[in-house]
Structure 1
Amino acid sequence: MSADTLTLLRAGKLDGTRRLDLSCGLTDFPREIFDLAESLEILNLTGNRLSDLPADLPRLKKLRILFCSENDFHHLPPVLAECAGLSMLGFKSNRIERVEALPPSLRWLILTDNRIAAIPPSIGNCQPLQKLMLSGNRLESLPDEMAACTNLELVRLAANRFRSLPDWLFRMPKLAWLAFAGNPFVEEPTAAAAEIAWADLALEEKLGEGASGVIHRAVQLSSGRPVAVKIFKGAMTSDGLPASEMAAYLAAGGHSNAIPILGKIGGHPDQAQGLVMEWIDLDFTSLAGPPSLESCTRDVYPMEASYPLPVVIRIARGMASVAMMLHSKGIMHGDFYAHNVLRNAEGSCLLGDFGAASFHSGLPGLEQIEVRAFGCLLQELLDRCESDCGGLRELQQRCLLEDVRARPSFVTILRELDDFA
């Protein structure tokens, strides 16, 4: 399809195009793209063999989003800093070693799975930055200037070379979703788990797909029972390492508001890693969809989404309860989002997807970061509540306080929610 698109581009038949997707082995940036300068907003060049971008790229004056993942870049082209309207850059899975300059207008930066050893201090000028994905690099530190990026909400630092996290990170006023597993300072326990043979599983239809893997319905042949099987995609995801996810899932143990794990897969023909999970009734559906390009850090709900107050309270209690359990075991979920919550019409709910989970060994401040994530979830529920929410609004607002230390703990949150039940 991209080859056909390239043909149409070169024939001048894409006038007015706002989004252009080209993945056809390109080694050079097609100059015909500049013919779309008056309209082009999203340019996706993922899956080519590009190693640089043209010096006159700023001619694409309406360009907001640029994807160049899975190419051959060894550096982040400095010309990007001159593109005044860029709000999102995706350069995942290249061979980038150097990052010299960034556009100050960035909201969302993806540099996962590269060879980056340092982030430039100029990142502190990226005041709108909300989402920063740096997992799978060679970072040992972050520049102190980054503390000026006070709009940061989601940060991925997994699988790097950090021996500690910077103190200022724990004071970031809006940070809610943080992943840091797979670094030298993180001790990941080895949890015993039942091994379920791949030959004992019959995969059926695909149920869903996330950053770390694909989930299928399956049948365990020896017992005949339905199960869900998650096969990890590879050695590195945008959230971190599959091994870290498995360790967190298994260490979390059982909780009535977490998806139960039956065991890990053994004997996969391609040596793929995977988990076997208890089958969840189809009455349970995702509470929301993941963030969009426009919403950046916030989940997307159906337009018609509306919940009775008792359902809101039940979901909130369930999620506060499982979060309290996780932190009591030194586990930060890191992706505490509505799109990782399954729920039914009555408000029974289950938290899943531990792809961004990290062991924190009691590091102070991490629970309060996740409390903000809970506050975002509660805010979304209350915004769609069918009746007056009373004091729940006050609780939700305390969870979002920019003074991290002033936020309530999950123990306090659960106690206060019990008063509303």
Structure 2
Amino acid sequence: MRSFPFTKKIRCVHSLTNALFMHFLVQSFPDEVLDLGRSVRTLDLTHNRLVVVPLEIDNLINMQRLVLAENLIERLPVSLGKLQSLKVMILDGNQMSTLPDELGQLVRLEQLSISGNVLTYLPETIGSLRNLLLLNVSNNKLKSLPESIGSCFSLEELRADDNSIEDIPSSFCNLINLKSLSLNNNNVNQITPNLLKDCRSLQNVSLHNNPILMDQFQQMEGFHEFEARRKKKFDKQIDSNVMISSKGLDEGVDL
């Protein structure tokens, strides 16, 4: 660990609200970071070699943005749930297989990105994140999504590409603010029947490389209203299509 320049830089920003320490290749969470305490609003430790997030991270009680992407982190401490000012948490590119139930205590969280890990499931407590706008769990090992996600009533965008998900929970029909749903490269063979009818804000659905057929999608109740919303958004004619690619019209599901 290059302790001297890292410590020197921390001391330089001790009175600031943004603690940005990317690409230092540190292997452990420096005590100096935790000493910043209540003053920290943003902490970014992207591209290091962190394995453990210490229990004492709850010292940063006023932190609103936490970025720990591209490390070697295997788990999050239960004390994370005390960071109830947190609005953005980015944990992409780590080695986490589970998330603590205390995740549900982050009631102000608006953006949660955990792509590129090895998650096999999401905790049911995720449904307590009523202010969540963006959830990105792409490129994990998920076989399902919890029913409780249907309680994330503010959710606007869900990305769950490159997993092994087989179906979409019926509770998704409660996501009346959902605008974009991306489930490319999964094993989805059916969608809850009322999804398009009940999710009246839905504008984008991407289901490339799944077993579901376009005919199934087109026959869902609410498909024509969904199609109209897409046409309005892109201000062009999209005749019975779900997605557009650089190759032209693209149904969004493989026929």
Normalised to the residue count of structure 2, the TM-score between the two structures is 0.73
| 2:219 corresponding residue in structure 1 | none
Percent of counterpart pairs with the same letter?
Answer: 23
**Aligned partners of 1:50, 1:172: CA distance in 2, in Å?**
35
C-alpha change, 1:50 and 1:319, in structure 2 (3 Å) is same
Which one of the candidate residues 154, 160, 176 is aligned to 2:157?
154
Alignment of 1:136-215 (within 5 A): 136-185=139-188
After superposition, the C-alpha distances for 1:211-230 in whole angstroms (9 at most, x for unaligned) are: xxxxxxxxxxxxxxxxxxxx
Secondary structure of 2:236 counterpart: helix
Per-residue Cα deviation, 1:279-323 (whole angstroms, up to 9, x for no partner): xxxxxxxxxxxxxxxxxxxxxxxxxxxxxxxxxxxxx8682324x
| 1:128–1:358 distance in 2 versus 1, CA, 3 Å | farther
Aligned to 1:78: 78
Q: 1:317 to 1:96 in 2, by over 3 A?
A: closer
1:169-220 per-residue CA deviation (whole Å, 9 max, x = no partner) reads 2441100011111012269xxxxxxxxxxxxxxxxxxxxxxxxxxxxxxxxx
- 2:136 equivalent among 133, 136, 139: 133
Amino acid at match of 2:128: N
Task: Compute the displacement of 1:9 (Å).
Answer: 3.6
- In structure 2, what is the equivalent of residue 359 of structure 1? 252
**Distance apart, 1:38 and its partner CA:** 3.5
Letter matched to residue 88 of structure 2: M
Structure possessing the higher radius of gyration over alpha carbons: 1
Q: Provide, for residues 366-388 of structure 1, a one-character-per-residue CA deviation record: whole Å limited to 9, x for no partner.
A: xxxxxxxxxxxxxxxxxxxxxxx
* Structure 2: stretches of 5+ with no match in the other structure: 191-205, 210-230
What's the offset of the Cα at 1:358? 7.6
Corresponding residue number in structure 2 for 1:59? 59
Q: How does 1:238-277 map to 2 (within 5 A)?
A: none
Partner of 2:235: 320
Q: Deviations over 1:156-179 (max 9, x none)?
A: 011111112122224411000111
Contact persistence 2:138–2:160 (CA under 8 A):
yes
How far 1:90 sits from its partner (Å)?
Answer: 0.7
**2:53–2:76 contact (8 Å) kept in structure 1:** no
- Measure, in 2, the Cα distance between the counterparts of 1:68 and 1:7: 18
In 2 relative to 1, CA 179–317 (structure 1 residues): closer, same or farther, beyond 3 Å? closer
Q: Which amino acid aligns with 1:21?
A: L
Matched, 1:117 2:120: yes
| TM-score under structure 1 length normalisation | 0.46
Distance across 2 between alignment mates of 1:79 and 1:352:
45
Q: 1-side partners of 2:38 and 2:107: how far apart? A: 22
Residues 123-164 of structure 1 show CA distances to partners (whole Å, capped at 9, x for unaligned) of 111111110001111111111122111000010011111112
Contact in 1 for aligned 2:17/2:40 (Cα 8 Å):
yes
Q: Is the 8 A contact 2:37 2:59 kept in 1?
A: yes
Query: Post-superposition shift, 1:27?
Result: 0.9
Distance 1:139 1:319 in 2: 32
Judged with a 3 Å threshold, the aligned counterparts in structure 2 of structure 1 residues 127 and 31 are, in CA distance, closer, same or farther, namely same
Q: Secondary structure at the match of 1:76?
A: coil
d(CA) in 2 for partners of 1:29 and 1:143?
32
